[in-house]
Structure 1
């Protein structure tokens, strides 16, 4: 059964953006939304994660859990989804400060 799917993908190759827009609407340059089947969603996500070299991507779709959706991520992220007793929480990675990046003399 088709379900609402949201994909956010940054720094992806043009051919992959074209593949995503065949199935989903590109509402902003990095955000794709549409109603697709689980099979199409899986194929799009597999293609996206295979071709992703320097960008990052997030996939969200409905699921039968407490929150009502599932998240998947690929590529370097500042936000990491963590499973906490069946709930997905987001952990932020701290950015290095100027003192931490400065080399000792």
Structure 2
């Protein structure tokens, strides 16, 4: 059954952007939205992750869980998905070379 799909893809080759726009609308640069089948979504994601070199990508689509959606990521990112008792949370990684000092509250 077709479902709303959102893909954010940065620094991807032009041919891959073209493939994404065949199935999804590019509502802003690097953000693609559309209603596609599971098969099309899987093929697009597989092609995207296979061609990803310097860029990064995030895929979000509805599923039957507490949050109502699933996230997949590919490529180097500062944000990392973490499963916390069935909920997907986002953890931020420190920037390389950053010195964060502990500050009292």
TM over 0.5: yes
Q: CA deviation at 1:96?
A: 3.4
**1:4-49: per-residue Cα shift (whole Å, max 9, x none)?**
0000000000000000000000011100000000000000000000
The more displaced of 55-64 and 87-96 is 87-96
User: CA 1:95 to 1:24, structure 2 compared with 1: closer, same or farther past 3 Å?
Assistant: same
* Structure 2 CA distance for aligned equivalents of residues 50 and 13 of structure 1: 11
Unaligned 5+ runs, structure 2? 101-105
TM-score (normalizing by structure 1): 0.91
| Residues 1:81 and 1:98: Cα distance change in structure 2 (over 3 Å) | closer
Aligned residues between the structures: 100
2:40 paired with 1:33: no
Secondary structure of 1:54's aligned partner: coil
TM-score in terms of structure 2 length: 0.91
Report the secondary structure of 1:12's partner residue: coil
Write out aligned runs for 1:1-105 (5 A). Answer: 1-97=1-97
Q: Distance in 2 between matches of 1:22 and 1:63?
A: 24
| Rounded Cα–Cα distance in structure 2 between residues aligned with 1:55 and 1:96 | 18
**1:44-102 CA distances to partner (integer Å, 9 max, x unpaired)?**
000000000000000000000000000000000100000011000000001134669xx
Large movers: runs of 4+ above 6 Å: none
